[in-house]
Amino acid sequence: MKNRAKINRLVSAFLLLVGLVLPECTAYNLLVLSPITTPSHSNFFKPVVKALVDRGHTITYYNGLHQKQAETTNNHTTSFRVLGSPSLHKISTDHQVDFNIRDKPMKFLAELPEKMENYCTTIYTDPAFHQLLNSNEKFDLIIIEGYLNDCSLPLVAILDVPFIYMNGVAPIPWLLNAIGSPLALDHFPNPVFSFKDEMDFWQRTVNSVSSLMGVYLRHLFVMPVVDRIAHKMLKRNLPTIAEIEHRYLSLLIVNTHSSINYQLPTSPAVIQAGGLHCVPSKPLPRHLESFVDGSGDAGFIIVSFGSVLKGADMPTNFRRIFLSTFDRLPQRVLWKWEDQSGTNNDSSIPPNVKLISWMPQQDLLGHPKIRLFITHGGLFSNQEAVYHGVPFIVMPVFADQPINAQKAHDDGYAIRIDLDNLTEEILYDAIQRLLTNSSYREKMRKVSSLMRDQMESPLERAVYWIEYVIRHDGAPHLRTTSHKLSFIQRNLFDVLMFVFTLTFFFLFLVFYICRYYIFSRGGVRIISDQKKTN
């Protein structure tokens, strides 16, 4: 039995190696547009781009994290080109998010139109963008990062190619709306709130109103900004970006999976490929291996607040709580801390704690001596922890982190602590519970096996559907027709109004007929009956 499983695994590894799991394909020319991005969102793009290049396709990757100006002009000798610019790099590396943002989640939304204006102006003055605009290159498909990249849409119309949105987070309501997939507002919580899939009346109201408002605020306040600037700066006769989405959008690939996200019914044009960046761990660099191996039976803990929040920005009081808690532990602690100046010789840092500016997170999570993970609850970190089966403490700060944290907490494989509640006792107690109570490890084992039990890997799934869309000229048959309906029609408000009006009218009619019979004819009969008995 065991041997057979081994042979099966060998065979499938071999098939994977020679690329037989995915259908044979001709080489295509793809354009990937992610001029506005973050290091974590690009985690979702890098594996896909690499897999596409490995399968023989030609990729042009316009990446906001790439610093240098485009140096090659239409160099067809290589199958992979990266375009970028210093100004986009500045935007994509500095989104000005810090530990205080949890106090003002609405601020971000309010600033969106102004931000969009800045993004569009920067992109439309970028030589790399104009290189794409003026190239007469024939692309087979465009992939656009589905968040804050509305300014790239005019390029789709100019190149006249189908495009897909790929999105490193849970599906945002306006993307679901654009592709014509149900918003499922009765049970799919908007990622910006910490609701669960079972919501009471008020939560459902907030969930519905905010999600629908998000969709329509984009139409009212964000899209017109892009249209205006595109018209002004690109000096071409362009359709509006709403029309471009309507005509060319073919697929939406999102970063969710049924094992760790709330369930979402989707149209066939939505592909859930959550965790596609998760890979088995590799051996650690020598200095890290000797540090974690020296932890003995106690094992080690890793601490990381992701790539947008810098450990070095953490307020001093939180930092002190962490350090004094770690000082009480037999475990060794690796802490991702970007600012190296004067930290490792700081006397307040306990001897069992090591600060490092970058950590190979998946290799550490896959290490046999890892005991637990302390994280901010970014989706990528949650997925890695689940993939490698490591229970975690989660301290969410902003965006979708609270809802990710709450789900993991409710499912019993993580403990959520709010930064506002953080004390040494609470942190120490949570660490001890995770280390000693086997229920967390047991729950983690279960969810981890759910995440790994898939017909094909999420990466293979994403690549398959990207090629599928090209093979079938944008695969328009996958899309539901509901994106053609108006706001009122889509949400069935017109039908509800009609049914309510009809019911009301009917009840009114019944009421009047009854009144007529009781008080006039009925009344008459009663009176005449009374007369007879008299």
Ligand X SMILES: *[C@@H]1O[C@H](CO)[C@@H](O)[C@H](O)[C@H]1NC(C)=O
User: Which residues contact ligand X by CB under 6 A?
Assistant: 72, 75, 77-78, 342, 345, 416-418, 421, 437, 439
Q: Which is nearer to ligand X, 78 or 489 (CB)?
A: 78
Q: Shortest distance, CB of residue 409 to ligand X, whole angstroms?
A: 8
Q: Shortest distance, CB of residue 421 to ligand X, whole angstroms?
A: 4
Q: Shortest distance, CB of residue 426 to ligand X, whole angstroms?
A: 7
Strands of the 249-254 sheet, one edge to the other: 80-83, 58-63, 29-34, 141-145, 163-167, 249-254, 270-272
**Token pair of 403, please?**
């809802």
Contact 250, 478 (CB under 8 A): yes
Q: Which is nearer to ligand X, 79 or 454 (CB)?
A: 79
**Token pair of 84, please?**
């970028």
Q: Which is nearer to ligand X, 439 or 449 (CB)?
A: 439
Task: Read off φ and ψ for residue 251, nearest 5 degrees.
Answer: -160, 155
Q: Shortest distance, CB of residue 397 to ligand X, whole angstroms?
A: 13
Enter the DSSP assignment of 260: T
* CA 460 to chain CA centroid, nearest Å: 18
The set of residues, in sequence order, having a beta carbon less than 8 Å from that of 506 and lying 6+ positions away, is none
Beta-bridge partners for 300: 332, 370
Q: Which is nearer to ligand X, 71 or 243 (CB)?
A: 71
Q: Shortest distance, CB of residue 132 to ligand X, whole angstroms?
A: 17
DSSP letters, 32-62, are EEESS--TTTHHHHHHHHHHHHHTT-EEEEE
Rounded CA separation 75/73 (Å): 6
- Residue 515 Cα distances to 267, 455, 522, 526, angstroms: 50, 66, 9, 14
Q: Shortest distance, CB of residue 20 to ligand X, whole angstroms?
A: 30
Q: Shortest distance, CB of residue 343 to ligand X, whole angstroms?
A: 8
Rounded CA separation 333/155 (Å): 48
**Token pair of 136, please?**
């007469």
**Token pair of 196, please?**
């669960």
Side chain identity at 31, as an amino acid letter? Answer: L
Q: Which is nearer to ligand X, 421 or 501 (CB)?
A: 421
**Token pair of 85, please?**
């610019």
Q: Which is nearer to ligand X, 72 or 520 (CB)?
A: 72
Question: What CA dihedral angle connects 103, 92, 162 and 170, to 10 degrees?
Answer: -30
Q: Which is nearer to ligand X, 341 or 533 (CB)?
A: 341
- Span between the terminal Cα atoms of the chain, in Å: 98
Q: Which is nearer to ligand X, 12 or 437 (CB)?
A: 437
Q: Shortest distance, CB of residue 67 to ligand X, whole angstroms?
A: 17
Q: Shortest distance, CB of residue 433 to ligand X, whole angstroms?
A: 7
Least Cα distance to 228 among 240, 213, 215 occurs for 240
Q: Shortest distance, CB of residue 291 to ligand X, whole angstroms?
A: 18
Least Cα distance to 324 among 414, 190, 422, 184 occurs for 422
Q: Which is nearer to ligand X, 263 or 437 (CB)?
A: 437
**Token pair of 51, please?**
């897999």
Enter the DSSP assignment of 127: H
Q: Shortest distance, CB of residue 26 to ligand X, whole angstroms?
A: 23
Q: Which is nearer to ligand X, 9 or 76 (CB)?
A: 76
Q: Which is nearer to ligand X, 411 or 418 (CB)?
A: 418
Q: Shortest distance, CB of residue 89 to ligand X, whole angstroms?
A: 21
Could you give the residue ranges of the DSSP H alpha helices within 75-220? 86-93, 105-110, 112-124, 127-134, 153-159, 173-179, 201-217
Q: Which is nearer to ligand X, 105 or 268 (CB)?
A: 105
- Cβ-in-10-Å burial (0-12, 13-18, 19+) of 194 comes to middle
Q: Shortest distance, CB of residue 13 to ligand X, whole angstroms?
A: 31
Element (H, E) at 272: strand 270-272
Q: Which is nearer to ligand X, 427 or 459 (CB)?
A: 427
The three-class DSSP label of residue 253 is strand
